[in-house]
Structure 1
Amino acid sequence: MPSERPPQKDAYGLILEAIDHGTYKPGDRLVESELADRFGVSRTPIREALQRLETQGMLVRDGRSLIVASLDHNALAELYIVRAELEGLAARLAARHATAEEVKVLGQMVQDDRARVSDPAALSRSNRRFHRQIHLASHNRFLIQQLDLVHRSMALLATTSLAAEGRGEAALAEHQAIVDALAAGDEAGAGEALRRHISAAFEQRLRLDAAQD
């Protein structure tokens, strides 16, 4: 009986995850041979993954090299505008379609995150899971696909706004307001609560960027 082959690693997913986790930051150069060694993948899928990421705007050319893209002020504003609208729609649909179990899970996520307030990196990862859970609770596959694209671009932000003093606690209060609206089946309230949450995150990010100039 022939032995089973180990599952082939997804080069695209591995590189994207590394960017998302900050292993590769905006401006970092990605070298095909180094990526192949790091991930234990042959150079052909690495090359194809890099081409795909370049097409999606995650990587840009710097001479003959590819570097992780960065978002300027205008691109950042455009991204947050789209994110606020799409996330608001997801929350409205979730208020209409989410099961009681899905809402309960979201509520538990907020409670669990209270132990992560002093760890911005952990809170940022959990924040992504919370938003992803709302996307899934919308029960709209096409909206979920578009939100995946938006959140992929969020990986190009080198820092998290949750690192700002007091932002973690405020974000959790905003998450709780979203969950409360979902539990009440309040579509308009859920959408507005999520848009306010995104707006507050954008404002905090602008403050962080301004402080670095």
Structure 2
Amino acid sequence: MRTDDLVGLLSTGITPVRRGTAARRFGISLPIAMLGATALMAAVFGVRPDLAVVVKTPIFWEKLALPLCLAIGALIATVRLARPGTKVKAAWPIMATPVLVVWIAAITIVVTAAPEERLPAILGHSWRSCPFNILLLAIPGFIAVFWAGKGLAPTRLRLAGAASGLLASSIATVAYCFHCPEMSPAFWSVWYMAGMLLPAALGAVLGPTLLRW
């Protein structure tokens, strides 16, 4: 078969891709992720009873900023990786900066604390359950974000899967902040990050299967 014939055969029946497809798909999946995580959080764990007081403190918004910034960076990465040949670019510093800030704050807290207070600052009261709680809340978003990505054209499937999993888990962590009583960056730097990395790792493993097109 000549090259011209092959090109003609491959192009037969091709229709233009509708503009704004990515925006439409993620415009559906992101509200599902947020509403699903929030509903699960309220039903399974409950909103913390002192929320009205805590939201008036700077530390609560600092806690919320960590997963929120990661969600923004992961969204940029996920959308870009859903297109063939694109690079993540600005998403990396958006995701890395809040993590670095929290780690610096955590190290400062641990170093300056009395020796007997260092481990409790890291473990808090819920270290055993925190990562798995976030993993649970990430399930609706995981399904919705992978649905959005599969309908596009990702080529780096493991990296796209990891970004999709991180997007789902960071959205879930935003919702979890309204339940979680832990207010120390030393806790967030370990256990929030572990909770967000679990779905990201799962996404990397399942990406070649779930995002294949």
TM-score w.r.t. structure 1 length? 0.31
* More contact order relative to length (CA 8 Å, sep ≥ 6): 2
Q: Greater share of strand residues, 1 or 2?
A: 1
Structure number with greater Rg is: 2
TM-score w.r.t. structure 2 length? 0.31
